[in-house]
Amino acid sequence: MGIKQEAARLNTRMRQENPLVHNITNYVTVNDCANALLAIGASPIMADDTLEAADITSISSALVINIGTLNQRTVESMVLAGKKANELGIPVVLDPVGAGASDLRNKTTGKILEQVKITILRGNLSEVSYVAGLSVSTKGVDTSDKDNNKDARLVALAAAKKLCCIVAVTGAIDVITDGERVVKVSNGHPLLSKVTGTGCMTSAITGGYAGTKEDAFTAAAAGILSMGIAGEIAFEKAGALGAGSFHMALIDALSNLNEETIEEMGKIEEE
């Protein structure tokens, strides 16, 4: 069975199991992440207070840490939740939003990586380049034009080998690797970059797939494929109407996504 078929099968399993996914995420996209998880078949919970972050993680199937909107309180919650996840064998997805853009983001990323074992790292080329220890030219939370000249495959491999985890670099062509295996996904649509939160939603639904406790490589591939395919379907249904309608159609597409659609539409290349 190839990776596309494995990812497709995992969609069915996730919808059957309805894993609880704890998200410590940013307030710009928290509602989008919750709706995306519900649509794809998982169950979201958002708890970022230090007094309950670890407790909520302990009853969850996966933890997603997103550093999009940082403050000192949530940084501590991220570490506490991450440590509890590691203690209990719960997969951790890290989305290092804007890593490289500020001292606080850089220190927070470093602190999390030092104290928490990450299962899946999901970010754009600039963010993953920073995590890999490569030179980086950030543009807020987007990939800079300068970083776009980098080889995403090499950047992903460098980060995966450094952190000993699954790395997914998302862009025009997405790259997923465990440091040895590499797959490339070419699903998606440029309008995805014009709607706030599509990256955060991708990390969240990847957490949903990881919550099945299936192979993390398959979970990462399933999350990336799902958002890319949903983007294509949403554009076909509502793209001509504008970004707002596309946004709504994206949630519709995720809610209707199934094993058959992933197998039919998935564009994934295994090296």
| Residues placed in the known binding site | 46, 122, 170, 197
Q: Measuring CA to CA, which residue among 184, 173, 181 is closest to residue 148?
A: 173
Rounded to whole angstroms, the Cα distance separating 14 from 210 reads 9
List, as residue ranges, the binding site for ATP: 122, 170
List, as residue ranges, the binding site for substrate: 46, 197
Instruction: Produce one character per residue of 56-70: b if its CB has 16 or more CB atoms within 10 Å, e if not.
Output: bbeebbbbbbbbbeb
Contacts of 189 (CB under 8 A, 6+ apart): 231, 232, 234, 235, 239
